[in-house]
Amino acid sequence: MSAPDDWHAEEPDPRYRGSWLGLTLRLAGRALLSPRLAIDLCRTAWAFRRRKWWRQPPFLPIPDRPYLRWRMYTAYGHEDAVPPLEDVRHFARWRRETMGL
């Protein structure tokens, strides 16, 4: 049985609503208080950058939108989900510890 055509029409879980800008600002605030977290977040952001990001606008090393939406769908069940701050913080630390960065 195939998935309905409107599988993405449902709203994300209320726990995963918010804005990427808001999340970024809150993470920046936490990073100011913790240099280790700042390094972890920078390394994680760099790892998620779009390939050949310098070739197309906005000429910033940000994630590819379809890839980010897929990651949010697989992690939170909705492509428009915004992860909670603590999830990002824990993921960045886990990535450092697991990959030995």
Whole domain around residue 51: which residue ranges? 17-99
Q: Residue 84 and residue 80: Cα distance in Å, rounded?
A: 13
Length of the chain: 101
pLDDT for res 1: 46
Average pLDDT of the chain is: 89
22-34 pLDDT, tens per residue? Answer: 999 999 999 999 9
Helix (H) / strand (E) element for 20: namely helix 20-33
50 within 8 A of 63, measured Cβ to Cβ: yes
Q: Is 8 within the bounds of a domain?
A: no
DSSP symbol at 92:
H
* pLDDT tens string 40-84: 999 999 999 999 999 989 899 999 999 999 999 999 999 999 999
| 1: in domain | no
**Is 38 a domain residue?**
yes
Residue 48 counted as domain residue: yes
> Taking the model in full, what pTM does it have?
0.79
Q: Quick check: is 7 in a domain? A: no
For residue 16, pLDDT beyond 90: no
